[in-house]
Amino acid sequence: MTTTTAQIGRPAPRAVRYGSISRGQRRALYWSYFFLVLFVIFFLMPPVYMLITSLKSSAEIGAVTNPWWVYHPTLENYTTLLTQKSFLTFFRNSAVVSVLVVSLSMVISVLAAFSLARMKFWGSATLATGVFLTYLIPDTLLFIPLFKIFAWIHDQTGIELINHWWVLIFLYPTLTVPFCTWIMIGYFSSIPKELDEAALIDGAGYMQILTRVFIPVALPGIIAATIFAFTVSWANFLYPLAFTTSEDQLVLPVGIVTTLIKGDVYNWGQIMTGALLGAAPPLIIYAFLMDYYIAGLTAGATKG
Kindly identify the residues of this chain, within the stretch 111-130, that bind another protein according to CB under 8 A. Answer: 111-112, 114-116, 119-122, 124, 127, 129-130
Kindly identify the residues of this chain, within the stretch 33-62, that bind another protein according to CB under 8 A. Answer: 33, 35-36, 39-40, 42-47, 49-50, 53, 61-62
Quick check: 304 binds another protein (CB under 8 A)?
A: yes
Q: Which pairs count as long-range contacts for 113-121, CB under 8 Å and 24+ apart, including other chains? A: 113/180, 113/181, 113/184, 113/185, 113/187, 113/188, 114/184, 114/188, 114/206, 114/210, 114/214, 116/181, 116/185, 117/184, 117/185, 117/188, 117/189, 118/188, 118/196, 118/214, 119/206
Kindly identify the residues of this chain, within the stretch 213-242, that bind another protein according to CB under 8 A. Answer: 231, 234-235, 237-238, 241-242
Q: Answer positive or negative: Cα dihedral of 5, 10, 13, 19.
A: negative
**Which of 93, 109, 249, 270 contacts another protein by CB under 8 A?**
109
Quick check: 170 binds another protein (CB under 8 A)?
A: yes
Q: How far is the CB of 91 from another protein (least distance, A)?
A: 13
Quick check: 178 binds another protein (CB under 8 A)?
A: yes
For another protein, the closer CB: 46 or 73: 46
Are 229 and 176 within 8 A, CB to CB? Answer: yes
Kindly identify the residues of this chain, within the stretch 5-24, that bind another protein according to CB under 8 A. Answer: 5-10, 12-13, 16
**Which of 18, 83, 126, 136 contacts another protein by CB under 8 A?**
136
Q: How far is the CB of 205 from another protein (least distance, A)?
A: 9
Kindly identify the residues of this chain, within the stretch 182-201, that bind another protein according to CB under 8 A. Answer: 193, 197, 200-201
Site string for another protein, 256-275 (x = CB under 8 A): xx--------x-x--xx--x
Quick check: 95 binds another protein (CB under 8 A)?
A: no
- Distance between CA atoms of 46 and 195, rounded to whole angstroms? 48
For another protein, the closer CB: 61 or 217: 61
Please state whether 169 falls in left (phi above 0), alpha (psi between -120 and 50) or beta: alpha
Quick check: 288 binds another protein (CB under 8 A)?
A: no
Are 260 and 77 within 8 A, CB to CB? Answer: no
Quick check: 73 binds another protein (CB under 8 A)?
A: no
Q: How far is the CB of 216 from another protein (least distance, A)?
A: 18
Are 88 and 82 within 8 A, CB to CB? Answer: yes
Burial class (CB in 10 A: 0-12, 13-18, 19+), 70: middle
